Amino acid sequence: MPNFEHPEYPEATLLHLESMVPCRETQVSSLLSIFGERQHFSFPSIFIYGHTSSGKTYVMQTLLETLELPHVFVNCVECFTSRLLLEEILTQLQSLSSENKHGSHVPCDTFNDFVRLFKQEIITQDLQNQTVYIVLDKAEQLREMEANVLPGFLRLQEMTDRNVTVIFLSEIVWELFRPNTGCLEPFTLYFPDYSIGHLQKILSHYHPPEYSADFYAAYINILLGVFYTVCRDLKELRHLAALNFTKYCEPVVRGEANERDTRRLWKNIESHLKKAMQTVYLREISSSQWEKIQQDDGEPGHLKGLSAHAHVELPYYSKFLLIAAYLASYNPARTDKRFFLKHHGKIKKTNFLKKHEKTSNHLLGPKPFPLDRLLAILYSIVDNKVAPTANIFSQITSLVTLQLLTLVGHDDQLDGPKYKCTVSLDFIRAIARTVNFDIIKYLYDFL
């Protein structure tokens, strides 16, 4: 016997629906009660809210498609203006008929036009005797649209005099939606976060056919034991489960362990799961690159240029400006002749080493430098000639805005502005590699 009961739908359909929406039986039962039978008038509007990856979109899509209810499903991020949103609803409404699966474009400029065209389309599609559902996903975007859009959807059933229910799916509570002028209150339904038991049940449901359900459930239990404290996003956990399962199976594939040897399987994958903790949500490397790391038993940081913390996208000359700024911050000014003049003569490092200079400049931190010195170093390290144009000066300002450089003192200084470079050695080495510049050769501390 299914957990869901409804006189309108056969038992087989309800059993299939129950298998498709695990751990959301309470919410689905509430929705079935609200929907009633096809010909019954339902609530004018339903507001469903909950954190990301709590099953709101999936449950609504599965419920409407399994029960074959006439519906329109629109993402408010994709349809970011009221015109796009209204036109998309009308276009999808056209495609509900078997004759017109794609629907033609329907121009609609205002909400008044939408109400008129919606009423016509309901008659054309012969949907007067059943409820039509309009689902607006990412509904928080409606707050950025015209003031009449949200109240209009809340009263759409009243304005059209048709059997229509508008369902809002959002990650924020209704109190942040409610207009100051007041509106028709929707029926609110909360989707709580999945518990660790729910996540275990849902993730274990997608086990590969070549392995037993118990073996995959043990793997999911290990995975959740590592990641549950930092990540409860079902989509991210499914991604991590698929990404690391091959490594978990290695001892079984090689014949070194059987499926019940949990201790050996855990020891094999423990270090790899801890490495994966560093890249939760970030996607700093692709799935194929992560698999390559697992095969080579390497560290994620060993792949050149993959980490977003060690590499940033900058224009070509901005990279050289940042390199010049780093050299100006960490090299004494009198060493510029040694590094950047071709015929500087012999200058021994011991000549520079005074008592107070024996400490590494990198330990003392960056020193301020004038703009003239920065540009002089830039012209020395760039192969081709660079004119001191407004473009170069604007790029210096951009580096300050990005907090890669810091402006020292006040803008109204008579002797010109001074700057400090705030990036680390690892960061500047990564930047220098992208332009094939060996910065270590030009640093006084590494002579």
Q: Which two tokens stand for residue 248?
A: 């978990």
User: Cα(309)–Cα(311) distance, rounded to whole angstroms?
Assistant: 6
Strand intervals (E) in 56-171? 71-75, 132-137, 164-170
Strand intervals (E) in 320-432? 369-370, 405-408, 418-421
Evaluate whether 382 touches 323 at the Cβ level (below 8 Å): no
User: Cα(232)–Cα(283) distance, rounded to whole angstroms?
Assistant: 17
CB atoms within 10 A of CB 280: 15
Q: What Å distances lie between residue 282 and 106, 241, 243, 328, 365, CA to CA?
A: 40, 16, 14, 34, 30
Report pLDDT digits (tens) over 30-68.
999 999 888 888 899 999 999 998 999 999 999 999 999
In this predicted structure, the answer to whether residue 134 has a pLDDT above a threshold of 50 is: yes
- Helical ranges in 315-389 per DSSP H: 316-330, 336-340, 361-364, 371-381
Report pLDDT digits (tens) over 225-252.
988 888 888 988 998 898 889 889 989 8
For the chain, how many helices (H) and strands (E)?
A: 18, 8
Evaluate whether 401 touches 395 at the Cβ level (below 8 Å): no
Evaluate whether 130 touches 39 at the Cβ level (below 8 Å): yes
User: Cα(141)–Cα(136) distance, rounded to whole angstroms?
Assistant: 10
CB atoms within 10 A of CB 287: 11
Evaluate whether 102 touches 61 at the Cβ level (below 8 Å): no
* φ, ψ at 282 (rounded to 5°): -75, -35
State how beta strands 418-421 and 405-408 pair. antiparallel
- Helical ranges in 135-176 per DSSP H: 149-154, 156-160
Report pLDDT digits (tens) over 201-233.
999 988 888 888 999 999 999 999 988 888 888
CB atoms within 10 A of CB 97: 15
Evaluate whether 187 touches 43 at the Cβ level (below 8 Å): yes
Q: Which residue has the higher pLDDT, 388 or 323?
A: 323
* pLDDT, average across residues 279-296: 62
Report pLDDT digits (tens) over 311-321.
467 888 889 99
Evaluate whether 251 touches 264 at the Cβ level (below 8 Å): yes
User: Cα(177)–Cα(167) distance, rounded to whole angstroms?
Assistant: 14
What's the whole-model pTM score? 0.66
Q: Which of 88, 180, 181 is nearest to 134 (CA)?
A: 88
SS3 state at 5: coil
- Rounded (5°) CA angle 363-342-404: 35
Predicted pLDDT at 390: 80
Q: Which two tokens stand for residue 68?
A: 């074959």
The CA-based dihedral angle spanning residues 436, 442, 445, 447, taken in that order and rounded to the nearest 10 degrees: 100
Cα distance between the two ends of the chain: 80
Report pLDDT digits (tens) over 417-427.
889 999 989 88
* pLDDT, average across residues 281-291: 61
Q: Which two tokens stand for residue 154?
A: 């809340």
